[in-house]
Amino acid sequence: MQVIQLGFNLARKYFGITFIFFATILIGFVYYTYFATILPETAPNNPILLIISILFALWIMWAIGVTFFKSCYVGPGHPPSGLISREELQELRENPNYDSQFRYCKKCHYAKPERTHHDAITNTCILKMDHYCPWINNCVGYYNHKFFLQFLFYLCVGCLYACILTYPAYHAESGYSATSSSNETLEFIFILCVTIFIAVGFLVSWHFYLVFTNQTSIEFYENRYYKKVAQERGEVYYNVYDLGYKKNFEQFFGTEGHHWISFLWNFDIPKGDGVHFPKIDNYFKNQINLV
Ligand SMILES: [Zn+2]
């Protein structure tokens, strides 16, 4: 196991930055293509439409850049020190069934709060861990999951916008009048953007589903298992963190008291500590004994 861990760490050390570099080059290529090819070839004649089109493109580019940067450089969050007393930690270590709100991480030798998982690649405990993403060379957890989803969302919007602009070139019989060489470039951009839009679109839909149901990718599989066990026993299992789609959404994007649409420009770090989470009212009634 130690050899595998060492391999993971080495791969992460030498290839992690390469992935970020590659993703940055791709994003830079999209920016360049917009100004060098898409804009000159698809600019509307109406000056107002032209300004709106450029401003919209700039907003999308800025949002993609900010959310990608924050996904990479905002840490997912680790359990803070001083969470529990030394005596309680000792109890956890010696007796894993000790009735505590924390679990014990055998690798970090520390208390794991609820929703925290140990990540094998970074070899640390991650608050509300979702997954490790090589493209951002970072774990997606409590503090950066929001930025990760915003990044995917804006990437989808950007690709969709590029598809709309370049579709006439792809669909040549629509009367598009660009030169044949630029037409080929626009066709290539259209196909590339459709591909990215479909691939990332599935990922965005999946993560929005997790947000609305207040689960992480890891918890989704855990909850599915618990639901099956409960069903076999004739019981009903509830996800204790699922407060309803509206509250789940507000909790994730930190848009409490604001309109939902504010998640589009809210790039603040999520509120809360990643250690304590509100639960449904009948929390205790709905717990099933899985031991
Ligand atoms: Zn750990």
Residue 91 CA to residue 155 CA, distance in Å, equals: 47
How many other β-carbons are positioned within 10 Å of the β-carbon of residue 167? 17
Residue 182 CA to residue 16 CA, distance in Å, equals: 35
| Residues of the chain predicted below pLDDT 50 | 285, 290-291
Distance 124 CA to ligand 1 centre (A): 5
Which of these is catalytic: 105, 108, 133, 156?
133
Predicted confidence at residue 129, as pLDDT, reads 95
Residue 85 CB-density burial (10 A; 0-12 exposed, 13-18 middle, 19+ buried): exposed
Predicted confidence at residue 285, as pLDDT, reads 47
156 part of a folded domain: yes
Predicted confidence at residue 260, as pLDDT, reads 73
Say whether 133 is catalytic: yes
118 part of a folded domain: no
60 part of a folded domain: yes
CA dist 251 → 15, 63, 139, 188, 204 (Å): 34, 21, 20, 40, 18
Distance 139 CA to ligand 1 centre (A): 13
Average pLDDT, the chain: 83
Predicted confidence at residue 290, as pLDDT, reads 47
Q: Please give the model's pTM, rounded to 2 decimal places.
A: 0.85
Residue 90 CA to residue 88 CA, distance in Å, equals: 5
Distance 104 CA to ligand 1 centre (A): 8
131 part of a folded domain: no
113 part of a folded domain: no
Predicted confidence at residue 282, as pLDDT, reads 62
Distance 110 CA to ligand 1 centre (A): 7
Above pLDDT 70, what percent of the chain? 85
Question: What is the residue range of 236's domain?
Answer: 15-76+144-264
98 part of a folded domain: no
Number of separate domains in the chain: 1
Q: Provide the greatest CA pair distance for the chain.
A: 77
